[in-house]
């Protein structure tokens, strides 16, 4: 009887420990956008958000010991959702900028790039070296990106049109309703490589003027979570996981 009681007691202890461990697995809500391919995008076959930054945050979660729950939302809503604590992290094509660092905290940088210049086939073909060369043009740009303010401050631009998503902007470029559009270079290159917008071209001679690095954003009130993210990122960079994910999505060296 004593052995039987001991076995029952041991089984109960193990069951309780396993239950406690499962309950301890924290669920972290992560904001991502459905229009930032190849960083984040909506896979219509699975109706889930996929991409390089989704893969990275999932690996970070595995390393740090939390479960990732991806929340889809427009790019312009990401920081507001983070500061209002509707989500815990942002993993998207978001530059680490001084202005954003005033309201949210960022992980260590993950990937660096600048803006890509997309031109309508109706636009005058000339050498564009910077924003000042957009004089007289109607230029599209996505709300919330680091390119909005520099464009608005540039004198001589006919109109700066704001878009919630990249696809709407490219659609207007393709229809000739825009002269030019600025978008994260990797996103612009990927979308145009699909060949669905024959009247839009990527100006490969253009040199970006707004360079930045993307990182994972966290609420400033949660430094413990950011510390876990950075510790996990450091391991994933060191063991090559981050490089493999970037290469998988065409972002490797």
Please give the model's pTM, rounded to 2 decimal places: 0.83
Span 4-15, mean pLDDT?
49
Long-range pairs for 159-165: beta carbons < 8 A, 24 or more residues apart: 164/74, 164/75, 164/76, 165/35, 165/74, 165/75
Round the average pLDDT of the chain to a whole number and report it: 91
Indicate the range of 20-24, 72-76, 143-147, 194-198 predicted with least confidence. Answer: 20-24
pLDDT at 19 over 70: no
Tell me, letter by letter, the H, E, C secondary structure of 185-216. HHHHHHHHHCCCCCCEEECCCCCCCCCEEECC
List, for residues 54-111, the tens digit of each pLDDT value. 999 999 999 999 999 999 999 999 999 999 999 999 999 999 999 999 999 999 999 9
**Tokens for 219?**
């609420």
Q: How much is the pLDDT for 252?
A: 72
- Domains for the chain: give ranges and CATH numbers: 25-112+212-248 (3.40.190.10), 115-202 (3.40.190.10)
Model confidence at 8, pLDDT cuts 50, 70, 90, reads very low
pLDDT at 22 over 70: no
């Amino acid at each position: 009887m004593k052995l039987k009681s001991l076995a029952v007691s041991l089984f109960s202890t193990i069951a309780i420990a396993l239950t406690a461990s499962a309950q301890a697995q924290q669920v972290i809500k992560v904001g991502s956008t459905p229009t930032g391919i190849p960083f984040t995008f909506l896979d219509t076959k699975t109706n889930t958000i996929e991409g390089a930054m989704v893969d990275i945050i999932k690996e970070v979660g595995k390393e740090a010991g939390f479960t990732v729950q991806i929340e889809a939302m427009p790019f312009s809503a990401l920081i507001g959702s983070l500061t209002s604590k509707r989500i815990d992290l942002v993993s998207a094509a978001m530059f680490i900028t001084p202005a954003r660092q005033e309201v949210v905290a960022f992980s260590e940088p993950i990937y660096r790039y600048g803006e890509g210049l997309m031109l309508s086939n109706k636009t005058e073909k000339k050498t564009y070296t910077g924003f000042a060369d957009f004089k007289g043009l109607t230029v599209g740009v996505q709300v919330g990106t680091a390119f909005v303010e520099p464009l608005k401050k540039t004198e001589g631009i006919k109109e700066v049109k704001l878009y919630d998503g990249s696809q709407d902007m490219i659609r207007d470029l393709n229809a000739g309703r825009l002269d030019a559009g600025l978008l994260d270079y990797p996103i612009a290159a990927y979308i145009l490589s699909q060949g669905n917008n024959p009247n839009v071209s990527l100006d490969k001679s253009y040199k970006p003027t707004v360079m930045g690095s993307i990182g994972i954003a966290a609420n400033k009130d949660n430094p413990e979570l950011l510390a876990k993210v950075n510790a996990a990122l450091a391991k994933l960079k060191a063991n090559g996981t981050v490089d493999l994910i970037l290469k998988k999505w065409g972002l490797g060296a």
